[in-house]
Structure 1
Amino acid sequence: MKRTGLIERSLRTIMKVFTWLPQKSNRVLFESFLGKQYSDSPRAIYELMRTMHPECELIFSKQRGVTFPRDVKTVDRLTFRWIYLLATSRVWVSNSRLPGWLIKPKKTYYLQTWHGTPLKKLALDMDDVQMANTTTERYKQGFKQETAKWSGLISPNAYSSSIFRRAFAFEGEMLEIGYPRNDIFYQEARHAKIKETVYRHYEIDSSKKVLLYAPTWRDNAFEGQGKYSFELPFSLEEFEKRFGDEYVLLIRMHYLVGSRLDVTAYPSVRNASNYPDIAELYMASDALITDYSSVMFDFAHLSRPILFYTYDLEHYRDQLRGFYFDFEQEAPGPLLSTETALFEELNQLDDWHTRYASAFRAFQETYCQWDDGQASERAMKTIIKRIYG
């Protein structure tokens, strides 16, 4: 810990020096999920700006060893060049927190896109933080220091705006424009090619349908420094036996445990935890299996079946995080607590829309409120306004 503190103080000193350098007014630095992915709303905004404003210098931050498309200009995270580019960029775009030691220059516009509509309690609304290497007090203090740097925050619906204001103690500009990452759901001309790309990547027979299993991260999965517990909550062997002829199951776990998932013994199961952009997995999937993850809000735009495998509902709701709304009443699909119930529901997917149409429409009206395929353009206009005045 002492060594980490020394390194952070040194990096902060270096950035303080770099902030004296002149900014490049048309330079924009993007980052998605701490540099681990080329994905999400930062990617959507980046790709539109690259087409519409080629005069801008657009750079994506990435972690060492992470592969990006060759035509994307990148910088490795936590390097001197990265600090220099942050200090001299007019705009930062990120979907998660940046390191606390960073100094935001006064003229820098920091656009925080965030990464989901919240079901689980966030940040300052959390009563007890059960995360690695922190305490509740330290976590909340760090969050307040981060959000004080945000110039603008994107919101996908009125429900989220209210929560974001309070949970992030955010007093800046709330951009109620929808999520740029969700524009893809309304760009139907792209859908067939994306589906074909995913099928080819995972060598899926074109006659098969796809199920996506994408559970949330559980804060209490931390066991020790660099160690996280993991156990798949249903039998892949049983899935293979019952559904392998009709479906391929894509499993999308959190990056901290995804690499530990070995599915090589199951011909109809793929580990999709490292696929660059989950939005493309949505497009290729005929149905979603999740629990309390915010993926439900994004997948709902496709009007396809969602099943909720909530085997630990009471523990997660009452002890780990807590929910912002009555999930059991508003969920746009069945809540299933056992493997037997989950598999029975998979056998009934054909009439899912008939059984859950009313709840699903109400869910879409509330949580898919501002997405219309134009959010990236609205975000881009906000950035361009800061660049050119």
Structure 2
Amino acid sequence: MASVDRKKNVKIVYHSFGGRYSDNPRALHQRALSREDLDAEHVWLAAPRHAGSFPAGTATVPWGTPEALAELRSADLVVADIHLPAWDKRPGTTYLQTWHGTPLKRIHRDALSQFELEEVMARLDDDIASWDVLLGPSEAGADALRAAFGFTGPVPVTGYPRNDALLAPDAAERRARVRAELGIEDGRTAVLYAPTWRDDERLEGAEGFRLGLDPERFAERLGEEHVLLLRLHHLAPDAQRGQDVPGVMDVSDHPDNNDLYLAADVLVTDYSSAMFDFALTGKPVLVLAYDLEHYRDVLRGFYFDLDEITPGPVLRTSEEAIDALADLDGVRAAYEDRYERFRDRFCHAEDGRAADRVLDLVLPAQGTGA
């Protein structure tokens, strides 16, 4: 497996979701900074609109510039959770692709409906050919990712570094702090609604966008004892951001999903990889699949049978989802066994030490980080 000699000062260049400080690269950066056995220079490729989310003192260069390409070319280790543009990877550089979730929906050339131009797909294939290591969140997730990308290199099953925080000793304290910051009162049920994006909505823009869960109906029925945390995908149109509905809070621009997973009491999603991460919390997961046939049979397709694997009910309408939210104790009881099977299959590698495992894989020297 490709790795960097940790005995010298190494240069690590990070990129996440078009220039954000987020996801697996963020977790690896934070853990690397805390390890006394690692002497490294850290540089992030940052989008100007997200520059304020980077910790003070973090070295950044503007994403999409010649300077960013120069940083990639000079790196000993590149850590990314999404595809990179062509950058003339030099001999000796290790490119770690963490990706950004267990794929339920089909991706890359496996997607049933190809919305990308062939030259774009060819560029993505060139990027895949330069990966040295691709992380596997679980055995099932590793198999799906390996097949999706046609990647023949190592796919170690490490768990996801970004999920370490969900199992950290201070998780309860962090939950209380985040809820206080968001203004969620004690005893109020926080519902995190995190739908994925849809390729056809991306083409149609705001006119084609819809929310499966009706915020106004949610507020009408559950607003006194519940709060809806609306987390739109970063590729979704801006049409529904900043909704002015009592009891609905737009958290789409919150910098850390883990904060929201810890603060929430239940997740409502559809075909997002969020369910695989959120299940580590042990809290209920509802799947609102209002366009199941279209998404499964026309738009994308799935790697896993949705009805077979989900840790909670598959619901078809907003009203069904609201009914389930009104009876979470019943949901927990009815899906307890399914929930455990889901965790056994997709969460078995998660133990709160994934970041250390990954760093030891790509920087194998001088200790274990214990």
What TM-score do you get using the length of structure 1 for normalisation? 0.86
Instruction: Name which of 55, 58, 63 aligns with 1:77.
Output: 63
Q: Which residue of 1 aligns with 2:355?
A: 376
1:25-71 Cα shifts (integer Å, max 9, x gaps): 51101111121x21211111111110114631112221012121214
Q: Which moved more, 1:356-365 or 1:46-55?
A: 46-55
Cα distance, 1:118 vs. partner? Answer: 0.9
Conservation of the 8 A alpha-carbon contact between 1:129 and 1:139: no
Conserved in 2, the CA contact under 8 Å of 1:263 and 1:269?
no
SS of the residue corresponding to residue 43 of structure 2 reads strand
**Which range moved further: 282-291 or 142-151?**
142-151
What's the counterpart of residue 75 of structure 2? 89
1:351 corresponding residue in structure 2: 330
Q: Partner residue of 1:143? A: 124
Alignment partner of 1:47 is 2:30: yes
SS in 1 for 2:267: strand
Compute the displacement of 1:366 (Å).
0.6
| Superposition map of 1:1-389 within 5 A | 26-35=10-19, 37-53=20-36, 55-66=39-50, 67=52, 68-99=54-85, 101-130=86-115, 134-135=116-117, 137-187=118-168, 189-223=169-203, 229-257=208-236, 259-385=238-364
User: Are the equivalent residues in 1 in contact too, given 2:171–2:262 (CA < 8 A)?
Assistant: yes
Given that 2:136 and 2:158 are in contact with CA atoms closer than 8 Å, whether structure 1 keeps it comes out as: yes
CA distance in 2, matches of 1:278, 1:330: 23
How far the C-alpha of 1:86 sits from its partner, in A, is 1.3
Shift of the alpha carbon at 1:377? 0.1
Secondary structure of 1:385's partner?
Answer: coil
**What residue is the counterpart of 1:11 in the other structure?**
none
C-alpha distance in 2, partners of 1:375/1:117?
A: 15
Q: Is the 8 A contact 2:197 2:236 kept in 1?
A: no
**Residues 259, 273 of structure 1: 8 Å contact kept:** no
Displacement, 1:337?
Answer: 0.7
CA RMSD of aligned residues (A): 2.1
The 8 Å contact of residues 210 and 284 in structure 1, kept in 2 or not, is answered as: yes
Query: Amino acid of the residue matched to residue 359 of structure 2?
Result: M
Letter in 2 for 1:316: Y
- Alpha-carbon distance between aligned partners in 1 of 2:129 and 2:365, rounded to the nearest angstrom: 18
Q: Counterparts of 2:239 and 2:177 in 1: how far apart (Å)?
A: 25
8 Å CA contact 1:228–1:256 kept in 2: the answer is no
Show the counterpart of 2:3: none
The answer to whether the Cα contact below 8 Å between 2:78 and 2:94 also exists between their aligned partners in 1 is: yes
Asked whether the equivalents of residues 13 and 78 of structure 2 are also in contact (C-alpha less than 8 Å), the reply is yes
How far residue 228 of structure 1 moved from its aligned partner, in angstroms, is 6.9
Structure 2's unaligned 5+ residue stretches are 1-7
TM (normalized to structure 2)?
A: 0.91
Partners of 1:95 and 1:180 lie apart in 2 by 11
Identity of aligned residues (%): 36
In the alignment, structure 1 segments of 5+ residues that lack a partner are: 1-23
After TM superposition, where is structure 1 displaced by more than 4 Å over at least 4 residues in a row?
Answer: none
